[in-house]
Amino acid sequence: MMQLQERFRTPRLLLTRIVPGDLGDMLAMHREAQVARALGGEQADGEIAALVEKLAMQWDRHGFGWWAIREPATGRFIGRGGLRRVTVDNAPEVEVGYALLPEFWNRGLATELSRVSVAQGFVRLGLGEIVGFALPANHGSRRVMEKTGMRYERDITRGGARQVLYRLTAASWQAGSPAAATRSRHSMQELVAG
């Protein structure tokens, strides 16, 4: 089984495999009103605890999963994200996902995480495609997916809510436009540095 590194750095992020010890940081992030709105509403503490447990198990089952995202210099929690296996319309998919504390929004950090996650998925895991989804009104998340090279595919329903599904194939990521080539070089440098 191909695996991703459980701990590594990008130029501005320290990524570590999510473990049960990250629950406190995850609870605090999901309690933030702006985060809750962006993700579709408030979740009970028990739901977040179950999510953290499920995310930790993704690594054991699949060799990859979401990371806890921290500032490299201080170790301060920024958010969570990466790749994980999901089911969309009864079909297995690999999703790139991310959520950051609001004070870290609009700094390009979600895009940095998304790009390196996609590069990891295509280069290290050999995936054929990666999806992302967000609430239709979550324009920030949609923009991150677009900057990563993903394109809108269709509307879906997840957790009882309408969401927009984006997709990126390995072939599109590799071929891309001049902007995609720059993105690939940047992501490959991050992989080598990791």
Establish if 72 belongs to a structural domain.
yes
Task: Kindly state whether residue 185 falls inside one of the protein's structural domains.
Answer: yes
Residue 21 lies in a domain: yes
In the chain, how many domains are there? 1
CATH number at residue 175: 3.40.630.30
What backbone torsions phi and psi does residue 91 show, to the nearest 5 degrees?
Answer: -120, 140
Q: Are 85 and 94 in contact (CB under 8 A)?
A: yes
CA angle, residues 14, 104, 19, in degrees to nearest 5: 40
Record the pTM: 0.85
Residue 86: per-residue pLDDT: 95
User: Is residue 1 included in any domain, yes or no?
Assistant: no
Q: What angle do CA 191, 3, 14 make, to 5 degrees?
A: 45
Q: What are the φ and ψ backbone dihedral angles of 70, each rounded to 5 degrees?
A: -135, 160
**Residue-level pLDDT at 35:** 79
- 130 found inside a domain: yes
* Region for residue 20 given its phi and psi (left: phi exceeds 0; alpha: psi -120 to 50; beta: otherwise): alpha
- pLDDT of 177 reads 41
pLDDT of residue 1: 63
- Which of 157, 146, 153 has its CA nearest to residue 179? 146
Phi, psi of 113 (to 5 degrees): -65, -45
Edge-to-edge strands, sheet with 7-9: 7-9, 14-17, 66-70, 77-88, 91-100, 129-134, 161-169, 151-158
Q: Is residue 7 within 8 Å of 194, Cβ to Cβ?
A: no
194 residues of the chain, pLDDT tens digit each: 678 889 989 999 999 999 999 999 988 888 887 877 777 677 888 888 898 999 899 999 999 999 999 999 999 999 999 999 999 999 999 999 999 999 999 999 999 999 999 999 999 999 999 999 999 999 999 999 999 999 999 999 988 889 999 999 999 998 874 444 455 444 444 444 44
Closest CA to 98 of 84, 113, 81, 78: 81
Domain range for 177 is 7-193
Tell me, yes or no, whether 158 lies in a domain.
Answer: yes
Is residue 2 in a domain? Answer: no
Radius of gyration of the chain (CA): 15
